[in-house]
Chain A
Amino acid sequence: MKSMYLAFLTLAVLTVVADYGLHRAGFSVQDVTSGPAVRLD
């Protein structure tokens, strides 16, 4: 069952990394759909 638990752990890590990485890479909705002329914060 170690493979199963390791897969689930990998799944969790990938999920968090994907969220963090995409934001860092400029793929957030705010980055993609707004410009400097738009004040969102």
Chain B
Amino acid sequence: MAIITHRLLAFIAALMLVLLQAGAGTAQQAAADPHAATGGAQTLEDILARQRGEAVDDDFRRGATGDPSAAAPITGQLGTLGGVSDPELWRALRYGTADVIVSSRAPAAAVVIQDSGMRWLAFREGPLATYGGYLLLGVLVALLLFYLLRGRIRIDGEKTGIPILRFSAIERFAHWLLAGSFVLLGITGLTLLFGRMAIIPLLGKESYAPLAHAGKWVHNNVSWAFMLGLVLVTLFWLVHNIPNRHDLKWLAQAGGMFSKGVHPPAKKFNAGQKLIFWGVLVLGVSISVSGLSLLFPFQISLFAGTFETLNNLGLPQLVGLDALPSSLLPHQEMQLAQLWHAIVAFLFIAMILAHIYLGSIGMEGAFDAMGSGQVDEQWAKEHHGLWYEEVTGKPAHDPTHHAAD
């Protein structure tokens, strides 16, 4: 009896030792992989971190979408699930990896769940509208200050009354096609962006609805005239906007805009106009491409490929950022296209506000160049002396006067 009791005690002791070791092993595993303790689900720390707005690595969930190849036989227990539990199926839907078949022809209809819409909306109504609005107001205030301090830039010399053709009819046509469409696109774009924030509180929903409807129609369809205008001005003016050595001098003297009687030499376009031209070209192409992807939803994906290229170049890492996502849902592509379209639009409008100011009330004689196409000889001598010499074959300035040198 004593022997049996002794053996029984020894067996219980051995069993407890094994259980303790197993428990220690599990605890070590849990410490190495915190999700082992939750059976692969989120931990409390994951949830709290997300609530604090921190980035949570969700790879442990993203890939946990079941294993159909290891499914139980169809007659077995849970065999009808096909190796994928309900949570695993929802996870696959959540991360866009489920094999979804829909009867709709919509390109993104197979995406059942996407969660980036709220981030898009928050950015659009938050930083985008706020800083974009401040930018435009800031430019308007700066132009007003410039006007108050400098006044209208007058023609310094005596007008001769001799007209010189500055822009041909087709050049002016291209400019106004681009300008007219830009103004319409700018007004309707801002109306759509600030509608809910600024216009509805002012006019009410009933008044804003037809305005938004018409604005959207104009914005979508005027875009083609804008793109045609952009192509035309590029064809007509690209060669005249290639930088040359005179541009540095023009920039060093700020084009004489801040001091009377200073007229650095310039050909058909001065350095300031060249900056506007290249700005219009770069921003115009960018806004056109993003606009096309918005006009034809889900047909043109711009960002996943761009992000991958940037990652390969190491640019995000260079400025201390994580690698950009190179796999995006169709909706995320559209959201990014819309945000990029609006960011470029704000920069574009800010730049063109300055251009409109200088081309109208800011400088005497400037509007004539694009209105009638003809400028006074004295205006041409002062603002585009080298071009004047090319066109007329006459010197722009008295050799004893060095203002244009």
**Residues of chain A whose beta carbon lies under 8 Å from any beta carbon of chain B:** 1-4, 6-8, 10-11, 14-16, 18-19, 27, 32-35, 37-38
Contacts and interface: CB of A to CB of B under 8 A. Distances in A.
Contacts, number: 69
25 contacts: A3-B170, A3-B373, A4-B176, A7-B173, A7-B174, A7-B176, A10-B177, A11-B177, A11-B181, A11-B225, A14-B222, A15-B218, A15-B222, A18-B221, A18-B223, A18-B224, A19-B217, A27-B296, A32-B106, A32-B297, A33-B109, A34-B104, A34-B106, A35-B103, A37-B103
Contact of A34 (B105, B172, B220, B373): B105
Contacts of B184: 11
Interface string B180-209: 110010000000000000000000000000
A16 B225 CA distance: 11
B169 interface: yes
3 nearest CB pairs, A to B: A7-B176, A3-B172, A33-B106
B177 A2 contact: no
A30 to B, nearest CB: 11
Nearest to B172: A3
A10 B181 CA distance: 10
A8 B174 CA distance: 10
A19 B229 CA distance: 18
B183 to A, nearest CB: 10
B372 interface: yes
A38 B104 contact: yes
Nearest to A33: B106
Interface string B79-111: 000000000000000000000000111110100
Nearest to A38: B104
B68 interface: no
B224 A2 contact: no
Interface string B317-347: 0000000000000000000000000000000
Given A3-B169, A4-B371, A14 B105 contact: no
Given A10-B225, A14-B224, A18-B224, 13 more contacts: A1-B371, A2-B169, A8-B176, A10-B177, A11-B225, A15-B224, A18-B221, A18-B223, A19-B217, A19-B221, A32-B296, A33-B109, A34-B105
Contact of B105 (A1, A6, A19, A33): A33
Contacts of B176: 3-4, 7-8
Contacts of B175: 7
A18 B225 CA distance: 9
A39 to B, nearest CB: 12
* Residue from A2, A4, A19, A37 with most neighbouring chain B CB atoms (10 Å): A4
Contacts of A16: 221
Nearest to A13: B225
B228 interface: yes
A27 B373 CA distance: 40
Given A19-B217, A35-B104, A3 B224 contact: no
* Residue from A14, A16, A38 with most neighbouring chain B CB atoms (10 Å): A14
Nearest to A1: B371
Nearest to A16: B221
Interface in B90-138: 103-107, 109
B372 A14 contact: no
Contact of A3 (B173, B222, B228): B173
Contacts of A32: 105-106, 296-297
B103 A11 contact: no
Contacts of A27: 296
A11 B172 contact: no
A24 to B, nearest CB: 14
A11 B180 contact: yes
* Residue from A6, A8, A16, A27 with most neighbouring chain B CB atoms (10 Å): A8
A15 B177 CA distance: 12
Contact of B225 (A4, A15, A33, A35): A15
A1 B172 CA distance: 9
A20 to B, nearest CB: 9
